[in-house]
Amino acid sequence: MAVFAKNTLTQVSGFDNQIIAGELVYQQKTYWNLALNNNGTALDLTGATINAQIIRRKLSNVQDTRYGLSFDISDYTPTPTPISLTISNRSDATGQFTLTIDDTAWSLTTTDTDLDIASINGAGFSGRIKISFPASGTTPANDLIIFLLFLVRSDAIVVN
């Protein structure tokens, strides 16, 4: 898994926010099992809604620096439709769920120029997992956001 430079992650998530970032290979399926807690205690997800979406982004100036991958990220043109990611294996009491990555829903094709083996930049996606907790007693409604950043590249076998 690639390491991203702090400045690159800050472009997406700000200075002090949670982020899941990774470099994926075209047609790679993967997942993250997430367990949310607050000071070591499982965060109860009962009544919360969870959704995750990503959207295609334009990456430029991709460089492998001594601090990790560094690049600029901007809006993709024409503006694509956001893509919903699957949330499964939810266990409210233990604060756990699985985020599934299946890039077949991302509208990438073998003719996508960002997936060409000679492409330095690759195809970029950013987004977020949004966990919306309802108001409870004197506690107001609250949203927890985890940012997402993925760089998708060719493996030179499927796309070249």
pLDDT in tens, 16-70: 788 888 888 888 888 999 999 988 999 999 999 999 999 999 988 888 878 777 8
- Per-domain residue ranges of the chain: 6-153
Q: What kind of fold does domain 6-153 have according to CATH?
A: Immunoglobulin-like (2.60.40)
3-state secondary structure the chain: CCCECHHHHHHHHCCCCCEEEEEEECCCEEEEEEECEECCEECCCCCCEEEEEEEEEEEEEEEEECCEEEEEEEECCCCCCCEEEEEEEEEHHHCEEEEEEEHHHCCCCCCCHHHCCCCCCCEEEEEEEEEEECCECCECCEEEEEEEEEEEECCCCCCC
Which of 2-6, 15-19, 27-31, 131-135 has the weakest average pLDDT? 2-6
The string of pLDDT tens digits covering residues 72-114 is 889 998 998 999 999 999 999 999 999 998 877 677 776 777 8
Give the C-alpha separation, 73 to 77, whole Å: 12
What's the pLDDT at 1? 46
| Tokens representing residue 7 in the block | 């400045």
The pTM of the full predicted model, rounded to 2 decimals, is: 0.85
